[in-house]
Structure 1
Amino acid sequence: MPTPASPGRPLLLAAVADAGQLDRVESELQRSFGGDFRVRGELSTADATRTVEGAYERDEPVALVLVDDAYGDGARADLFELVRRLHPDARRALLVDWGAWADRGSAKAILHAMAVGHINYYVLKPWIQRDELFHRSVAEFVQEWSRSAVSNMREVVVVADPRSARAYAISSLLTRNGIPHAFRDRGSEMGREVLERTGAGRAEVAVWMPAVGGKTLVDPTDAEVVEAWGVPTTLPEGGRDFDVLVVGGGPAGLAAAVYASSEGLRVLVVERESIGGQAGSSSLIRNYLGFSRGVSGAELAQRGYQQAWVFGAHFVLTREVDELTSDGAGFVAHVGDVGTLRARAVVVATGVSYRRLGVDSLEALSGKGVYYGANVTAAHALTGLQAVVVGGGNSAGQAAVHLARYCEHVTVVVRGSSLAGSMSAYLVGAIDADPAISVRTEADVVAGEGEGRLERVTVRHRGTGTEDTLPADGLFVMIGAEPRTDWLPAAVERDDHGFLLTGSDAAARGWAIERRPHPYETTVPGVFAVGDVRCGSVKRVASAVGEGSVVVSQLHQLLATASHD
């Protein structure tokens, strides 16, 4: 099987103002990483700048750049910006002394550098030999770089024409399921070798899995891709009775699965697309409790999936529940391509789907430069090109910041007069501080054009009607969402927008039994709704996780009552 050409050992660069501290940093880096990385230390930002530029000229990968906070603000900022521009996959960190968090000046420098996107995080300088905290911090950065650098060998390789909509869909599926992968042009050296050795030369898309025995899939379905990776997409004929059926594998559904299975309930999660739902496609969630450096939606979802699996929860992915009926003692659900199963209670956590623009010229280019949702799998392919993001929420902000690492320019188009009313302050600050991002307020994208692929879009100002044509190699649309509730029976009442009524709202609309509904119970006893699909929910990842965990106590109450009837 093909092996990637080695670009040389990746660089770990440390710029430290004090010679003694520099020796210690270099020594610690060399001890832990010297076998696989080229370690270099510089005493000045000028020397570090030359090293960064030299690596770029020689096409050498840079994995991590550590810069001492002892340098002046301007020198640090210039060096970090150079690294971001020349080596967008490289991780950037501020080196600080122990106790620096108590110094107002140092703390301000850290917070400002993170807010404007100069650094990914900070690292405490090693203070003893074999400083394992320093080692762990650097190792985490190296692991992140390894996952993001397009030149690195990956567990899964997708080979296709860069303009293939199906290849993008498969890459997006892999990303949202947390499956590490790389894309290779079918005309590249590795692409040609994979196609020739596997006999897949006529395929539109070939998926090679070197980490799983070298499997090769030719024009696979979504189910075939995840099955080959070892993710379940069906159930055995026996054992189709469950205590709880969770429909939807986003944050709310995963939380319900973790807590229900950990407390002894037999749980099945059915997810029609990928683990993590809409949140799973977010490139970086900075404000989730416990992840001070931020966490990607895919990683957060994978951790939840693995946690639920360890507790015994069952999963079926890329399948959809298309019918739900009551049999008196519980519920019978039909799952497409799987069949029927029974559950004593149902938790609906199907979340929402992004609305479409409804512009014919853009619909014709869907998957060919026009993408719906926050997944920015195409970011690497847009290196040095132009991107447009439509939307004013956090997902749109995260996508814009991520794309700006690679694109020459990113334009955010928002219908409102500003981003402040709909986007978290840390994202607004990052966008304002990034010269590669501009914002068009009170505007709509009304048309798109291109020869077989998006090349430009038309933006219209909502007040004046003035239209501008912008170059656009990628358009990412995140303009609000609609609940996924059309598969449910009419007895499960919705509000005027399709969100499910629960608790007191359900009691006021069609509740037919003597007891009052539980807070997250719908108008059908035994069917619960949590997360974004529920009327009145707060559309945040943490809120969805909270609802998914809280609903389990209500499930226990319901099931305990049912067992005594």
Structure 2
Amino acid sequence: MPGKEPGGATRTVIVTVDDDPAVSRAVARDLRRRYGERHRIVRAESGESALGALREMRLRGDRVAVIMADFRMPSMNGIEFLEQAMDVYPAARRVLLTAYADTTAAIDAINVVDLDHYLLKPWDPPEEKLYPVVDDLLDAWLATDHRPVSETKVVGHRWSARSSEVREFLARNQVPYRWYASDEPEGQGLLAAAEEDGLRLPLVITTDGNVLVEPSDQDLASGAGLATTPSARFYDLVVIGGGPAGLGAAVYGASEGLRTVLTERTATGGQAGQSSRIENYLGFPDGVSGVQLTDRAHRQANKFGAEILTACEVTSLEVSGSSRTVRFSDGSEVSAHTVILATGVSYRQLAAPGVTELTGRGIYYGSALTEAAGCKGEDVYIVGGANSAGQAAVYLARGAKSVTILVRGSSLTASMSHYLIQQIAATPGVSVRTGTEVVSAHGTDHLEQITLRDTSTGETELVDAQYLFVFIGAAPRTDWLDGVVRRDEHGFVVTGPDLAAAGQRPAGWPLDRPPYHLESSVPGVFVAGDARAESAKRVASAVGEGAMAVMLVHRYLERL
């Protein structure tokens, strides 16, 4: 474990390298005598082993203040070592230990490795020949800001679709991270520390120094300490989906004593969790961001004992007697007496040439919060006329050069809340183009232009665009339920009275009673939120349905 300063912070490191074991121990001994209380002294007996130690420390986020290396070392001399060490810790102060006969080489090294000092051996007494030099070097190092980056580190290409997905995954799961472009010095330094050439990106370095190359969502979740596997095999209630409906169900289920597990394929919050500000949610007169609302609900569910699993993609639901078994893409499974389907909806894909190829490289679906920093000073276009599009426009307008909302219809009034329409009208830099659609996207490695078409005249226009955010329609994530529960022609799950004509039981319904209001065509499988046919598609109603579904779960369990 790294040493700690009295205040709890990780101690800065002084590294010394000498191939002579006796000299190596002597240098480390003298350094510890003077600096051991506030600095960690790391010694190595070869340049290769020292570089390995430096790379590990860089990945952990340790701070290295001074590196001392002997000039005459076999395989890799001190100058060669310091030259490579510069790539790992460019801000560390560099000292060469030399004999009198090597002073010319030491002077030449000042230009080669930007040497800060060279020390002649022997350095006795250290009070006169060693400590004053190191004191000055430490003072110079401390005069600049070298606070460690404690966040997860992500190295990738700006216009890489997978790099964008990784950043989105971490952001939505509220995992602090810092982004490093692979073509900039800091990113290249991290790649060198990880001994990667940058051909396999993104590269993620966790807070404990583990390196993940081209990680899957499950790798990311595990590396960030998120739960990905259930602690038991059987529960009272499995909630599938972590949006407002799913979180509401988890809170009420766990708080009322049900053994509850919630599974989420990406991140809790759903589409609402990506909203920059929700201003029509009861109890928040000044509005609340989707992240804040999600975080509070997540913590509330944990408080009552609900398990929350991330990066768990459900592939099937099987019914066997009173048991309902949920299977995941990795082959694992979990069973329960009851299931609440709260899978929500996803944005529909924009069907236009060039869009698929440039998705994640300037074209994004609901990623306004994550990509906002890159939009500063750029021309941004938003496709969609619902609340999510309006919230994104107001948020992005803070830094973008311009924000243009593209709507196929004649106005926003049919699909957007009145308060948002007023905000958009009052926000500088935001404009609305009605009767307009995107018919193609253009660019080489990233989006550069889009072609717009007037839906009434058919005229087209080519415009410059660096970013295009898509918020169109709602496609339910229910394909995996095909043949298990009844769905309507659009894929939304049919429930309760809608399953059969008034006063009649649905065909194939096995129980004497009719289905409960939120119950699907399979007894004990309930639906809440946007995935339910004829649902209100609002955050408040989704939370309410999650709570109501739990009430009906209790009613169902009482009859088992």
Instruction: Give the distance between the partners of 1:545 and 1:348, measured in 2 at CA.
Output: 13
CA-CA distance at 1:180 after TM superposition: 2.8
Instruction: Give the distance between the partners of 1:283 and 1:178, measured in 2 at CA.
Output: 14
The answer to whether the 8 Å contact 1:456/1:470 transfers is: yes
One-letter amino acid of the structure 2 residue matched with residue 204 of structure 1: L
Residue of structure 1 in register with 2:105 after alignment: none
Residue of structure 1 in register with 2:159 after alignment: 163
* Residue of structure 1 aligned with 2:203, choices 179, 201, 206: 206
Is residue 530 from structure 1 mapped to residue 528 from structure 2 by the alignment?
A: yes
One-letter amino acid of the structure 2 residue matched with residue 478 of structure 1: F
Residue-by-residue CA offset, 1:431-481 (whole Å, 9 max, x unaligned): 111221111101110011012111010110110111111211111111101
The answer to whether the 8 Å contact 1:243/1:345 transfers is: yes
CA-CA distance at 1:154 after TM superposition: 6.6
Residue of structure 2 in register with 1:221 after alignment: 216
Residue of structure 2 in register with 1:314 after alignment: 307
Instruction: Give the distance between the partners of 2:238 and 2:321, measured in 1 at CA.
Output: 16
CA-CA distance at 1:507 after TM superposition: 3.9
Q: Secondary structure at the match of 1:487?
A: helix
Q: Secondary structure at the match of 2:186?
A: helix
Q: Secondary structure at the match of 2:452?
A: strand
Instruction: Give the distance between the partners of 1:248 and 1:498, measured in 2 at CA.
Output: 16
Is residue 271 from structure 1 mapped to residue 234 from structure 2 by the alignment?
A: no
1:15-414 superposed matches below 5 A:
155-202=151-198, 203-209=200-206, 212-236=207-231, 239-414=232-407
The answer to which of 406-415 and 194-203 deviates more is 194-203
Residue-by-residue CA offset, 1:319-359 (whole Å, 9 max, x unaligned): 22211111112212211215122110110000111111111
Residue of structure 2 in register with 1:415 after alignment: 408
One-letter amino acid of the structure 1 residue matched with residue 233 of structure 2: R
CA-CA distance at 1:206 after TM superposition: 2.0
* Percent identical: 45
Residue-by-residue CA offset, 1:474-497 (whole Å, 9 max, x unaligned): 111111011111111424111222
The answer to whether the 8 Å contact 1:499/1:535 transfers is: yes
Residue of structure 2 in register with 1:561 after alignment: 559
Q: Secondary structure at the match of 1:444?
A: strand
CA-CA distance at 1:188 after TM superposition: 3.2
CA RMSD in angstroms comes to 2.0
Instruction: Give the distance between the partners of 2:331 and 2:298, measured in 1 at CA.
Output: 20
Residue-by-residue CA offset, 1:155-179 (whole Å, 9 max, x unaligned): 2332222112111111111122122
Residue of structure 2 in register with 1:63 after alignment: none
Residue segments in structure 2 that go unaligned for 5+ positions in a row: 3-146
The answer to whether the 8 Å contact 2:259/2:306 transfers is: yes
The answer to whether the 8 Å contact 1:165/1:368 transfers is: yes
Instruction: Give the distance between the partners of 1:200 and 1:299, measured in 2 at CA.
Output: 37
Q: Secondary structure at the match of 1:364?
A: helix
Instruction: Give the distance between the partners of 2:425 and 2:176, measured in 1 at CA.
Output: 31
Instruction: Give the distance between the partners of 2:197 and 2:293, measured in 1 at CA.
Output: 37
One-letter amino acid of the structure 1 residue matched with residue 529 of structure 2: G
Q: Secondary structure at the match of 2:322?
A: coil
One-letter amino acid of the structure 2 residue matched with residue 444 of structure 1: E
* Residue of structure 2 aligned with 1:517, choices 487, 492, 515: 515
CA-CA distance at 1:550 after TM superposition: 1.4
The answer to whether the 8 Å contact 1:324/1:489 transfers is: no
Pick closer, same or farther for the CA change 1:410–1:152 going to 2, 3 Å.
farther
Pick closer, same or farther for the CA change 1:558–1:358 going to 2, 3 Å.
same
The answer to which of 549-558 and 366-375 deviates more is 366-375
Instruction: Give the distance between the partners of 1:343 and 1:507, measured in 2 at CA.
Output: 27
Instruction: Give the distance between the partners of 2:149 and 2:286, measured in 1 at CA.
Output: 25
Residue-by-residue CA offset, 1:189-224 (whole Å, 9 max, x unaligned): 432332222323424222234xx3344422211111
Residue of structure 1 in register with 2:128 after alignment: none
The answer to whether the 8 Å contact 2:155/2:181 transfers is: yes
The answer to whether the 8 Å contact 1:323/1:333 transfers is: yes
CA-CA distance at 1:153 after TM superposition: 5.8
CA-CA distance at 1:423 after TM superposition: 1.0
Pick closer, same or farther for the CA change 1:476–1:389 going to 2, 3 Å.
same
The answer to whether the 8 Å contact 1:506/1:521 transfers is: no
The answer to whether the 8 Å contact 1:329/1:344 transfers is: yes
Residue-by-residue CA offset, 1:89-128 (whole Å, 9 max, x unaligned): xxxxxxxxxxxxxxxxxxxxxxxxxxxxxxxxxxxxxxxx
Q: Secondary structure at the match of 1:406?
A: coil
Instruction: Give the distance between the partners of 1:507 and 1:524, measured in 2 at CA.
Output: 13
The answer to whether the 8 Å contact 1:444/1:460 transfers is: yes
The answer to whether the 8 Å contact 2:384/2:470 transfers is: yes
Residue-by-residue CA offset, 1:1-21 (whole Å, 9 max, x unaligned): 9xxxxxxxxxxxxxxxxxxxx
Residue of structure 2 in register with 1:550 after alignment: 548
Instruction: Give the distance between the partners of 2:473 and 2:270, measured in 1 at CA.
Output: 15
The answer to whether the 8 Å contact 1:281/1:297 transfers is: yes
* Residue of structure 2 aligned with 1:425, choices 412, 418, 422: 418
TM-score in terms of structure 1 length: 0.69
Residue segments in structure 1 that go unaligned for 5+ positions in a row: 2-150
Residue-by-residue CA offset, 1:300-329 (whole Å, 9 max, x unaligned): 212212211221112221122211111112
Instruction: Give the distance between the partners of 1:307 and 1:215, measured in 2 at CA.
Output: 30
How many corresponding residue pairs? Answer: 409
Residue of structure 2 in register with 1:116 after alignment: none
The answer to whether the 8 Å contact 2:353/2:439 transfers is: no
Q: Secondary structure at the match of 1:244?
A: strand
The answer to which of 178-187 and 299-308 deviates more is 178-187
